[in-house]
Amino acid sequence: MQQDLFSQNEHQSIVQLDTQAFVLKGFASAQDLQLWQLIQEVVAVSPWRQLTTPGGKKMSVRTTNCGRWGWLSDAKGYRYTAQDPLRNEPWPAMPELFSELAQDAAERAGFANFQPDACLVNSYLPGTRMGLHQDRDEANLQAPIVSVSLGLSAQFLWGGDSRNERPQRIELHHGDVVVWGGVDRLKFHGIGKILAGNHPLLGQQRINLTFRRAK
């Protein structure tokens, strides 16, 4: 169901994935250096870690968080916490540029007044994947999800209302932002693969910032 709604220029357009799901092509590109610097500042405080699923399987992506709430997964289940368990201190504050970008992207996709209080930061290397899943651990399911891609390109999987539905496969590039909510808020999605390469700013990795309203 991909449809290019309109273009500002060849690098910025909105592609409709579903009824209320959109890809904002190149939306974050102009701020990439500042975003990358802020990501490194977050990681310097709350370092990367590999989480495990409740079933004990180690996730292939490296993860950290910033904002009032951070998303965790371990033997106790999926949940949000106010403190980084590695440091027993609050997660780093969400940089103002992060929240502004998320709010602007959400509004551009038709979701006004988005106020993210959690930012999950994932680092993908070539060979890492993320299976089809729903973002349903949030107390507020009325707010959209805003997902920012930086670095290496990735194959994004956009599924349906069940894990068994065959997903669309959309190639996301540096600076692309995916926004979904409303009737599509609980659609299954994932990352099929990371395309090999060496990005001039981030090197051999893809960074994903996922903004949510957790509480």
Q: Is 189 annotated as a binding residue?
A: yes
Q: Is 163 annotated as a binding residue?
A: yes
Q: Is 122 annotated as a binding residue?
A: yes
Q: In the chain, what is the straight-line distance between the N-terminal and C-terminal CA atoms, in Å?
A: 32
Q: Is 36 annotated as a binding residue?
A: no
Q: Is 210 annotated as a binding residue?
A: yes
Residues 39 and 146: their CA atoms lie apart, in Å, by 16
Q: Is the torsion defined by CA of 128, 2, 173, 107 positive or negative?
A: negative
Q: Is 123 annotated as a binding residue?
A: yes
Residues 111 and 114: their CA atoms lie apart, in Å, by 7
Q: Is 212 annotated as a binding residue?
A: yes
Q: Is 124 annotated as a binding residue?
A: yes
Residues 207 and 215: their CA atoms lie apart, in Å, by 24
Q: Is 206 annotated as a binding residue?
A: yes
Q: Is 166 annotated as a binding residue?
A: no
State CA 128 to chain mean position distance.
15
Annotated binding residues for Fe cation, written as ranges, equal: 133, 135, 189
Annotated binding residues, written as ranges, equal: 71, 78-80, 122-124, 133, 135, 137, 163, 189, 206-212
Annotated binding residues for substrate, written as ranges, equal: 71, 78-80, 137, 163
Annotated binding residues for 2-oxoglutarate, written as ranges, equal: 122-124, 206-212
